Amino acid sequence: MTGGYLKGRIRREDIITAAAAAYGELGYHSSSLREIAKRVGITHAGLLYYFPTKEALLAAVLERRDAEDSDREQLDVAPGLDVLRHFVALAGHNVRHPGIVDLYSRLAAEAVAPDHPAHEYFVRHYRAARASIHESFEVLAARGQLRDGVDPAMAALTFIALMDGLQVQWLTVPGDVDLVGSLRFALQSLLSVPL
């Protein structure tokens, strides 16, 4: 008798997928429950049977993104050059999955507002990303693989900012931006060894 539960779980996943796509295309505020429900083939009242409020659905989308990220980092790389290569590879993955970039960029921009329901999520996200990359740059510095005068903390901060900025520019003028090449270039200019 778990059939009902299974079907419900699948439906929930479908709704989260549709919501993530809508948030990427339209932003969170402009994605109505009716629009998301239509993509799944139900009514907006039906959607509210699975997620009690609009914010609860957003929370579910962010939770799934975190879970996916955790999965990917399970095969976790030791701090150092490999982490940087990992991020370049991630950029390559993103180029083939623009929906992920859309979702992240649109939400990040909306969420600068302190009262946006995803604000705290992004505050945590930035801190975690910065800490992780900072650690790698510290390791590189200790090994003498960083160019002279490169401060690990600054390098981490600017590296993340660069990724985010490149993504927005790439979404706006796709033909003008080589996401992977630019990232590799910027990274290389911080290192004293080939990436």
Residues that bind a second copy (CB under 8 A): 25-27, 29-30, 102, 105-106, 108-113, 119, 122-123, 126-127, 130, 147, 149-151, 154-155, 157-158, 160-166, 168-169, 171-173, 176-177, 181-182, 185-186, 188-190
Q: What is the CA radius of gyration of the chain?
A: 19
Query: CB-wise, 141 or 150, nearer to a second copy?
Result: 150
Scanning 117-175, the segments in alpha helix (DSSP H) are 119-142, 152-172
Query: CB-wise, 51 or 121, nearer to a second copy?
Result: 121
d(CA 99, CA 48): 24
Is residue 45 a contact point for DNA (CB under 7 A)? yes
Query: CB-wise, 2 or 74, nearer to DNA?
Result: 2
Out of 3, 5, 52, 176, point to the residue binding DNA (CB under 7 A). Answer: 52
Query: CB-wise, 44 or 86, nearer to DNA?
Result: 44
Residue 61's binding partner out of a second copy, DNA, none, with CB under 5 to 8 Å set by partner kind:
none
Distant-in-sequence, close-in-space partners of 147: CB < 8 Å, separation ≥ 6: 189, 190, 191, 192
Distant-in-sequence, close-in-space partners of 80: CB < 8 Å, separation ≥ 6: 136, 139, 140, 143, 145
Q: Could you give the count of Cα atoms lying within 13 Å of 156 in the half-sphere of its Cβ?
A: 21
Handedness of CA 107, 110, 115, 121 (dihedral sign): positive
Out of 9, 32, 120, 123, point to the residue binding DNA (CB under 7 A). Answer: 32
Out of 17, 25, 27, 44, point to the residue binding DNA (CB under 7 A). Answer: 44
Residues in contact with DNA by CB under 7 A are 7, 11, 31-35, 37, 41-46, 48-49, 52-55
